[in-house]
Structure 1
Amino acid sequence: MSGHDVLIVGSGPGGYVAAIRAAQLGLKVGLIERAHLGGICLNWGCIPTKAMLKGTDLLCEAGHATRFGLHPLSPAIDPVRLVARAQEVSTQLSAGIAFLLKKNGVDLIWGSARLAGGGRVEVTAAEVAGPRGALGPGTYAAPHIILATGASPRRLPGLDPDGHLVWTYMQALRPQAVPQRLIVVGSGAIGVEFASIYAAMGAQVTIVELAARILPQEDAEISGLMAKALQKRGIALHTGVSVARLDRQAESLTAHLSDGTAISADRLLSAAGVVPNVSGLGLEALGVVLAHGAVQTDGAGRTNVPGLYAIGDLAGAPMLAHKAEHDGIACVEAIAGRAPRGHGPIPGCIYASPQIASVGLTEEQAQEQGTAVRIGRFSLRGNGKALVLGEPDGLVKCVFDAASDRLIGAQIIGAEASELIHGMTIAVTLGATSEQLASVVFPHPTLSEALHEAVMAAREGAIHA
């Protein structure tokens, strides 16, 4: 039995951040992990996909070398090296987490965890060897137990992954070769990002989406622009349909869609989102309440079982790393007796080509709530920096509450959208008005000027539109 103040199960963005913050607050912390320090995000999700996207972005830029005054280039993707670099980045970051845990006095416990009741956690041997110095199997106890077990790929009926013909994102991240033809089922962030990666690597990509449009959770106008951008790159889109039947051959497959269309391919990526990892933790025996497949919690991660908390993907949507980090900090600060830490709207980013980023309400969501809105739009074709970068296709969209003049949402598609959205996130969180934002001076020449122009478009009018 251990004498920890807090035990945390899972070392992803929510878990390791919670562990470090708890240690900073003077709590004795044990962090339990069974496979990958840094979790799925660092090892199989956010980080490696972005490393691969950087490689394919460079490939696309090299294809337009003459536009920038260079002699024509003829680069080619080396899939093995591309994957190796993604793994190198993940390994470096994982080592950094190990260092931070040690620096802050966090006990790393290596193994599979199961709740035993009474503030106890049974840890059994993991299949993967742990880092040097990690504690091993045994019974650990603490008055506060935080579950941060993340999520796994959603499995669709008839599309069970086999690791060969039918992939999850794990196989898509480490291909032995680039398939000539790839079907991507699902057009959320995961699906669109991988479609973008594999199209850049030369695959003939087809996206199949059950909803009436791709990226159904995004603003409809932004979704439409992304659809045009993907089709321009040769990616085929089938929306409003599902895979009714899948015929698997030795090295190929045929997807029969619900509208009667048959599509042949070499591989199929099932990218229909993720589901919280609730199995195998012993939640049922403790009577932990679930809601929509996730653990039900309050604003500080508390479950219905005293002393038990859940954060990140396990606690439900939005299933994003930065949301998990904020959950972890808020949870341990509440345990330490700090005042409740709230949060504003959580931004979301899609790292395809082009990028998409959004925060707050879309135009459609605001209207569904009965809110009268004023919209500001600005095309990146009027932005000097976007023209310099050779990426003029894009749009910044601002959604203002017409009555209060406050910014309640923003959406961006185009170059560096993920880096630009933080400005709008701050504005939405602080309740900034269009009048206040119009008085902000943006540096020139920058992509960020487009934010100011979109604000102005909602007022008297953008200058460069």
Structure 2
Amino acid sequence: MAEQYDLLILGGGTGGYVAAIRAAQLGLKVAVVEKEKVGGTCLHKGCMPSKAMLKSAEMLHAARKLDEFGVSVGDATLNFAKVMERKDKIVAQLHKGVQHLLKKNNVPVIEGFGRVMGPSIFSPRAGAVRIERPDGESEILAPNNVIIATGSRPKALPGLAFDGDKIINSDHALELTDVPRSMIIIGAGAIGVEWASMMNDFGCEVTLVEYMPHILPLEDEEIAKELARNFKKRKMNILTNAKVLPETVQIEGNEVTVQVQQGDKTETLRAEKILVAVGREAATDNIGLEATEVQVERGFIKVNSFMQTAESNIFAIGDAIGGLQLAHVAAHEGIVAVEKIAGLDPHPINYDHVPRCTYSRPEVASVGITEKQARERGHEVKVGNFPFRAIGKALVNGEVDGFVKIISDAKTNDLLGVHMIGPHVTDMISEAGLAMLLDATAWEVGVSIHPHPTLSEAIGEAALAVDGKAIHY
């Protein structure tokens, strides 16, 4: 007889392990099935290792500016092996932390690959799950409920297969042994932009290629233009409205070439490596969904606002369902699913209230909708902008590029979106997220006293600027 669980979670990434801990807190008997390491993509192949490397890039840039602060230490040089060693050390430490959290909450981690089998005599509600272990053995578990949290993997361009050497994805990039002399990055979303910024600071010649009209196509256009201006100032080559022609890829010795089309113009690009960063696809294949009523669209599992699939006892969260493929989104989706399973009344996620962060130099952060989206939704908008150049703390820090932009409804005064580009904005966006959650107006944010001198003053000034009342600009 298969062992009985209240909940079985397929995947131990951020969404999966957070859901497991919340389930344990609520008294459910829960287990996690994971074929690799708990922590998932974010911890091992995404957020944390890339941010560790970005911090090294930031420190290298800062070290080269020390003379401006009256500090002389000689020429700063890059030890890339040390960068990667530090990255691996941070990931290992965080991995141990996740393992400890699961153990502390008495959540067993079952090593193996989980496949849903559909309703059975073992579990007529959610369906039995077959666990295929690394040693070739298998077992059947019988949960009352299942959460699918199988995550995602880097998406390839049709006709442009990864070879792990000349044509790589972000997973491969995290295993580089040295900095390439040049790199073509295809895709200028958050992943592509972060790698472009990092590689440029490390001394790599970067060309950034984006199919859409501007880089960071999901962000506000003014923010994207400011980042592009900054990148061009750093001597990066940026091509937008550009279509890559995969059939033209050729590897010649230590270089790879590819043709890119912009309107009637075709250009041949040449670099040591091509990094494809065109998004991520759900890892939902081969997990047995065909044996269920679960609906899948373009590889992503369809769910309702409580993360339920068409099978009421099968839930799905995180990258497996698409939408905002962010670790903090997966975590909150996991909590919503578990609380629904436990018979509570969870509050559905308002995805307009989810903060989004890009850890380039300068950083980008936003919450809510863009100005274009606001107008498309029929809002009459009023906008406030405030530059970091007018903020004393930004001048003190020597980082003055960027601004805060606040979008408000002209009739109701409701906040619609807050968009930032500049120093440490990924740490400051939470204030805007809380303001939107509490349905604050721009006036309320503006009259909230922001301490001086701080970077957060830019938020208060931008909020006042919505009504033309900014003090310092």
Q: TM-score per shorter chain, which class?
A: over 0.9
Q: Specify the alignment match of 1:413 in structure 2.
A: 421
What's the TM-score, normalizing by structure 1? 0.96
Task: Say which is worse superposed, 242-251 or 299-308, in terms of deviation.
Answer: 242-251
Q: Specify the alignment match of 1:219 in structure 2.
A: 220
Contact 2:283 2:320 in 1 (8 A): yes
Contact 2:406 2:462 in 1 (8 A): yes
Q: Specify the alignment match of 2:254 in structure 1.
A: 251
Task: Say which is worse superposed, 237-246 or 450-459, in terms of deviation.
Answer: 237-246
3-state SS, counterpart of residue 261 of structure 1: strand
1:96 aligns with 2:97: yes
Q: Specify the alignment match of 1:396 in structure 2.
A: 404
Q: Specify the alignment match of 1:316 in structure 2.
A: 322
Give the AA of the match of 1:249. E
- Among 340, 357, 360, the alignment partner of 1:349 is 357
Q: Specify the alignment match of 1:131 in structure 2.
A: none
What's the TM-score, normalizing by structure 2? 0.95
CA distance in 1 between counterparts of 2:73 and 2:160 reads: 42
CA distance in 2 between counterparts of 1:279 and 1:94 reads: 26
4+ runs deviating over 3 angstroms = none
CA distance in 2 between counterparts of 1:355 and 1:71 reads: 27
- Among 378, 381, 386, the alignment partner of 2:386 is 378
Give the AA of the match of 2:56. G
Query: CA RMSD, aligned part only?
Result: 1.3
Gaps of 5+ in 1: 129-135
CA distance in 2 between counterparts of 1:283 and 1:228 reads: 46
Deviation digits for residues 47-105 of structure 1 (CA, Å, limit 9, x no counterpart): 01110010010000011011111115312122211111111111111111111111101
In the TM superposition, residue 429 of structure 1 has moved relative to its aligned partner by 1.7
1:454 aligns with 2:462: yes
- Among 337, 343, 353, the alignment partner of 1:337 is 343
Deviation digits for residues 277-326 of structure 1 (CA, Å, limit 9, x no counterpart): 11111112223211343100011110001311100111111110000000
Give the AA of the match of 2:67. T
3-state SS, counterpart of residue 140 of structure 2: strand
1:424 aligns with 2:427: no
1:46 aligns with 2:47: yes
3-state SS, counterpart of residue 143 of structure 1: strand
Q: Specify the alignment match of 2:291 in structure 1.
A: 285
Deviation digits for residues 152-198 of structure 1 (CA, Å, limit 9, x no counterpart): 11110222110010111011112111110100000000000001111
In the TM superposition, residue 276 of structure 1 has moved relative to its aligned partner by 1.1
CA distance in 1 between counterparts of 2:234 and 2:394 reads: 19
Distance 1:89 1:100, change over 3 A: same
CA distance in 1 between counterparts of 2:30 and 2:284 reads: 22
Give the AA of the match of 2:431. G
3-state SS, counterpart of residue 5 of structure 1: strand
Q: Specify the alignment match of 1:58 in structure 2.
A: 59
Percent of residue pairs bearing the same amino acid type: 40
Deviation digits for residues 239-277 of structure 1 (CA, Å, limit 9, x no counterpart): 111221211234211011123100110000000011111
Correspondence 1:123-134 to 2 at 5 A: 123-126=131-134
Task: Say which is worse superposed, 426-435 or 354-363, in terms of deviation.
Answer: 426-435
Give the AA of the match of 1:105. N
Deviation digits for residues 2-42 of structure 1 (CA, Å, limit 9, x no counterpart): 11110000011100000000000000011000012100110
Aligned length: 458
In the TM superposition, residue 428 of structure 1 has moved relative to its aligned partner by 1.3
Distance 1:127 1:390, change over 3 A: farther
Contact 1:29 1:107 in 2 (8 A): yes
Contact 1:384 1:446 in 2 (8 A): yes
1:368 aligns with 2:376: yes
Contact 1:35 1:126 in 2 (8 A): no
3-state SS, counterpart of residue 24 of structure 2: helix
Give the AA of the match of 2:12. S
Deviation digits for residues 422-463 of structure 1 (CA, Å, limit 9, x no counterpart): 011111122101222222111111111110000111123211
Q: Specify the alignment match of 2:124 in structure 1.
A: none
In the TM superposition, residue 137 of structure 1 has moved relative to its aligned partner by 4.2
